[in-house]
Amino acid sequence: MRNNRMFVFKAILWCVAGLAAAVAVLRFALGLGVATALSDTTPWGLWIGFDVMGGVALAAGGFVIAAAVHVFHRETFHAAARPAILTAFLGYGAVAVGLLFDLGLPWNIWHPMIFWNIHSPLFEVAWCVMLYLTVLALEVAPVILERTPFQKAYRFLSRLALPIMILGIMLSTLHQSSLGSLLLIMPFRIYPLWYTHLLPELFFISAICLGLNMVMFESSITSWLYRREPETKMLGGLAKLASAALAFYFVVRIADLAYQHKLGLIFAGTWEGNLFILEMLLSTVLPMVLYTLPAVRRSPTGLWLISMGSVLGFVLNRVNASGLSQVWATRSFYFPAWTEFAISLGIVSACGLIFFFIQEHFPVDPHGLNDIEEQRELADKSSPAFAPFTQVWLGEGWRKSARVYSMCFVVAMALGLTLAPKTEPAVTRKAERARGANVLRVGDGPRYVYFDHKRHQDEAGKEKSCGTCHHLHLAGDVGTPCSECHRRLFVPTNVFDHDRHVERAGGRESCAKCHGPGEPQALTVMKTCQDCHQKDMMAAGNTVVPAFKNPSAASYKDAMHKMCIPCHVTKAADPKVNLPNLGRCGACHDSGTQSEKAYKTEVPPGQEGIGRT
C-alpha cells in the first residue's frame, strides 16, 4: 500500500519550499528591506534568532549522540546515531543557507576565512560552523557510500570515524557556547533575566539538553510518518539521560540568577518575567519531572509530546535571548514579516525533503530502508495514472509523485511571487515627533507643519481624547496622519505642486499668502486657484474651469483624461485639422516610436477617420 501519510506530508513541504523560493527571488533582487520587517533598532530578526541560533542548537543532537554512542559506548542509542548525525549535517547546512539570506552581502560569506578578527565571537562561530560542516560531511559520507561501488573510500572514512567524531564534539563545544558569547557584548539590550556572564556555559548545557530531546522527537516523528514501531526502549533511555541533563541545566540557571540577586524579576509579573516562566516550564521543568515517571517513558505519545515541548521551549530560549528580551531596551516591537517566516519554514522544509530522500535511498536506518524499498517496488508495479484534461500519462511510482510535487512547488511559488511585497514598507504620511514637539513631519518629503498638540487635545476632549488620534491600529501606525481628520487638506491631486508654490512665493514665510493668517488648516479662508491664475487658465470657454472650482481638485489622470480627451477627439474628427490619430492613446503617451506616428502621420484627404475607428 502506498504511504499516503508520507505523500501528503511531502506535498506540504514542497508547497512551503515553493513559497520560500518566491520570497528568495524578491529578497535577492530587492534587498532585505523589502523582504523583512527588520529595522535599525532590530537588525537581527527571525533569521538569526530561529534559523541560526535555533538551528545550531537544534542540530546539537548530532554531537550529543555521537559522544554517547561512540565515546561513552552507550550501544542502546545506536539506532539514533545515523539519523541524528544526518539531521545535524542538514541542520548546519540550513544555518549556512539561512545566513546567506540574512547577510546583507551574502557573496562575501567566505570573508572570515581571510579577514581575521579573533576578538569577535562571530568570527569563532563562523570558523567552527565551517569546520563542523566539513566534519559532518565526512561523518555522513560513509552512510551514502556504504552501498555504492566506492568501497575503498567507504572503508577509509569508516576507519577515520572515531577521530572525526571527537573533532566534531570539540568543535561543537566551542561554537555552541560561542553563540552565547555572541550576546555578552549587549548587556544594554538583553533583559537581566537572560543576560549573565554564564551565557556561553548555559548555551552549551542547554544545547546538550536540546540535542537529546531533538533526537527523541525526530525518532518518534520518523516512525509515525513511515508507520514503523517506535523504538520505545531507546527513547526511554534517552529520556532518563535528558532528565538528568535538564536537572543540571535548571540548577545552574537558577543558582546563577540567585547569585546575581535577580530571582525577584521572575515573579515580578512583567512581560519578560512571564516569558521566562513559560520558557523554563516548557523547556526544562516539565520534561525534567515527567521524564522521571516510568509510565511516561513507556508511552511513545507522551515522549513525543514532551520532547516537542522541550524542543520548542529551547528554541524559545534562543529567540528570547537574541530577540524578544531586547524589546525592553529598543522599545520597538518587531514582528517578523510573513516573508521571513516563509524563508525560515522553506529552509526547514527543504531540509526535511533532503532528509527523507537520504533516508529512503541510503542505509541511514537499514531496516527502515528495506521496508521502503519493498513499498517502492510495489508502487512501480501498479498501473500508471492518467490525467484526463491534459491527456498525459502521469507514469507510475515516483514519477507520479514527482509530477504532483513539482506542481505543488510551482503553484506555491507563483502565489508567493504574486503576494510578496515589492516595495519597502515605510511609515508614510504618518505624523512624527508628535511627543513634546511642536513641529510635525508629514508626507514623504521633509515637509514640516506647525502642530499644536495641546490645542488638538483640548478640542478633541482633554485627557481622555488620546485614542482619537493615537493607537488606531493603522498599518505602520506611529501617530495618526493629519489626513484622517483634515481630509480636505489632502485632496487627491498632484496637479497642484505645493513645494513649487512655496518656492515661488518665497519660502517658509509665505504660507499666509495663500492659507490666510489665522487658520492655516481651514479651507474656507484659503485662496482658490483662480485668485492668482485668473488670466492664464480661467479664461472664458476653457473647459478646465468647472473642475478647478471644485474644492477637491481633480487628480492628474482625471484632469487629463476627462478634460483633454473630449477635445482631442473632436479635433481628430475635423478634416481641417488633419490629425486623425489625435484621439488615440499614443497621441499623448510615449510608447517608443508610436507616439510620433500616431500624432504626426499625415493622412491623405478622404481617408480621415480611419485612425479613429
Partner 1 sequence: MIQNPCILTDVTKCIGCEQCVAACKKINGLPAEDAPPRPGNSVDGLSADRWTTIIRRPDNHFVRKQCRHCAEPACVSVCPVGALQKTAEGPVIYDKSVCMGCRYCMMSCPYGIPHYEWNSAAPSVRKCIMCYGNMKSGKISEPACVTACPQKATLFGTRDAMLAEARKRLKAEPGKYVQTIWGEHEVGGTSVLLIADIPLEFLALNQGHPLGDTPLPERTWAALKPVPFEFVGMGLLMGGVYWIIERRKKLALEAGGAAAKDTRGEAGHEK
Partner 2 sequence: MESFLTFCRGPLLILAFSVFFLGAARQVALTFVELGRAYRRAGDQAVNLKFIFKRSLGWIIPVNGLRGTRWVYTAASVVFHAGMLLVPLFLAGHIELIRKGVGLAWPSLGPGAADALTLATMAALLALVVLRVASRASRFLSTFQDWFLLALCLTAFLTGYGVAHPLANPLPFTFVYIVHLLSAELLLVLVPFSKLGHVILFPLTRASWEMGWHFVPGAGERIRTALGKEGEPV
CB of 25 to partner 2, least distance (A): 10
Quick one: cell of 594?
508610436
Contacting residue, 161, 277, 404, 603, with partner 1 by CB under 8 A: 161
Rounded to whole angstroms, the Cα distance separating 167 from 137 reads 13
Q: Phi and psi for 508 in degrees, rounded to 5?
A: -60, -30
610 in Cβ contact with 593 (< 8 Å): no
Contacting residue, 8, 293, 378, 437, with partner 1 by CB under 8 A: 437
∠ Cα 496 502 503 (to 5°) = 110
Query: What's the number of CA atoms in the CB half-sphere (13 Å) around residue 151?
Result: 2
Residue 516 interface partner, choices partner 2, partner 1, none, CB cut-off 5-8 Å depending on type: none
* 187 touching partner 1, by CB under 8 A: yes
Contacting residue, 417, 491, 514, 523, with partner 2 by CB under 8 A: 417
Q: Which stretch binds partner 2 (CB under 8 A): 82-90, 513-521, 542-550, 581-589?
A: 581-589
Interface positions, 395-414, toward partner 2 (CB under 8 A): 395, 399, 402-403, 406-407, 409-411, 413-414
Burial environment of residue 255 by CB neighbours within 10 A (0 to 12, 13 to 18, 19 or more): exposed
Interface positions, 37-66, toward partner 1 (CB under 8 A): 37-44
Residue 578 interface partner, choices partner 1, partner 2, none, CB cut-off 5-8 Å depending on type: none
Tell me which DSSP letter residue 74 carries.
-
362 in Cβ contact with 146 (< 8 Å): yes
CA distances from 299 to 235, 281, 296, 304, 460 (A): 10, 21, 5, 9, 63
Radius of gyration of the chain (CA): 34
Residue 583 interface partner, choices partner 1, partner 2, none, CB cut-off 5-8 Å depending on type: partner 2
Contacting residue, 115, 264, 540, 550, with partner 1 by CB under 8 A: 115
Interface positions, 468-527, toward partner 1 (CB under 8 A): 476, 478
Quick one: cell of 613?
475607428
Q: Which of 238, 358, 259 is nearest to 310 (CA)?
A: 238
Of 155 and 557, which CB lies nearer to partner 2 in the complex structure? 557
Q: Considering CB under 8 A, how many residues would be counted as binding partner 2?
A: 36
- Given the DSSP bridges, would you call strands 439-442 and 447-450 parallel, antiparallel or unpaired? antiparallel
* 591 touching partner 1, by CB under 8 A: no
* 136 touching partner 2, by CB under 8 A: no
Rounded to whole angstroms, the Cα distance separating 15 from 567 reads 54
402 in Cβ contact with 8 (< 8 Å): no
Contacting residue, 146, 360, 396, 432, with partner 1 by CB under 8 A: 432
Residue 468 interface partner, choices partner 2, partner 1, none, CB cut-off 5-8 Å depending on type: none
Map residues 412-431 to x or -, x wherever contact with partner 1 holds by CB under 8 A.
------------xxxxx---
178 in Cβ contact with 121 (< 8 Å): yes
Q: Which stretch binds partner 2 (CB under 8 A): 35-43, 254-262, 323-331, 592-600?
A: 592-600
* 387 touching partner 1, by CB under 8 A: no
Dihedral sign of CA atoms 309, 222, 347, 48 in order: positive
* 227 touching partner 2, by CB under 8 A: no
* 600 touching partner 2, by CB under 8 A: no
* 381 touching partner 1, by CB under 8 A: no
Beta bridge partners of 160: none
298 in Cβ contact with 321 (< 8 Å): no
CB of 414 to partner 2, least distance (A): 4
Rounded to whole angstroms, the Cα distance separating 219 from 78 reads 12
* 423 touching partner 2, by CB under 8 A: no
Of 122 and 153, which CB lies nearer to partner 1 in the complex structure? 122
Q: Considering CB under 8 A, how many residues would be counted as binding partner 1?
A: 90
* 570 touching partner 2, by CB under 8 A: no
Rounded to whole angstroms, the Cα distance separating 561 from 575 reads 23
Non-local CB neighbours of 271 within 8 Å, separated by 6+ positions = none
Helix, coil or strand: residue 306: helix
Residue 70 interface partner, choices partner 2, partner 1, none, CB cut-off 5-8 Å depending on type: partner 1
Residue 575 interface partner, choices partner 2, partner 1, none, CB cut-off 5-8 Å depending on type: none
* 95 touching partner 1, by CB under 8 A: no
* 4 touching partner 2, by CB under 8 A: no
Rounded to whole angstroms, the Cα distance separating 345 from 358 reads 20
Helix, coil or strand: residue 231: coil
Of 44 and 490, which CB lies nearer to partner 1 in the complex structure? 44
Residue 369 interface partner, choices partner 2, partner 1, none, CB cut-off 5-8 Å depending on type: none
Beta bridge partners of 392: 387
CB of 72 to partner 1, least distance (A): 6
Interface positions, 95-114, toward partner 2 (CB under 8 A): none
* 607 touching partner 2, by CB under 8 A: no
∠ Cα 198 319 422 (to 5°) = 145
Interface positions, 8-67, toward partner 2 (CB under 8 A): 22
Q: Which stretch binds partner 2 (CB under 8 A): 149-157, 206-214, 416-424, 483-491?
A: 416-424
Contacting residue, 8, 31, 258, 486, with partner 1 by CB under 8 A: 31
∠ Cα 488 493 494 (to 5°) = 140
Q: Which stretch binds partner 1 (CB under 8 A): 23-31, 342-350, 405-413, 555-563?
A: 23-31
Query: What's the number of CA atoms in the CB half-sphere (13 Å) around residue 582?
Result: 21
Helix, coil or strand: residue 375: helix
* 327 touching partner 1, by CB under 8 A: no
Q: Which stretch binds partner 2 (CB under 8 A): 371-379, 382-390, 432-440, 518-526?
A: 382-390
135 in Cβ contact with 59 (< 8 Å): no
* 120 touching partner 1, by CB under 8 A: yes
* 597 touching partner 2, by CB under 8 A: yes
Helix, coil or strand: residue 394: strand
Contacting residue, 126, 282, 350, 582, with partner 1 by CB under 8 A: 126
Contacting residue, 11, 25, 96, 122, with partner 1 by CB under 8 A: 122
Residue 456 interface partner, choices partner 2, partner 1, none, CB cut-off 5-8 Å depending on type: none
- Given the DSSP bridges, would you call strands 392-395 and 385-387 parallel, antiparallel or unpaired? antiparallel
Question: Could you list the residues that contact partner 2 (CB under 8 A)?
Answer: 22, 383, 389-391, 395, 399, 402-403, 406-407, 409-411, 413-415, 417-419, 569, 581, 583-586, 589, 591-594, 597-598, 611-613
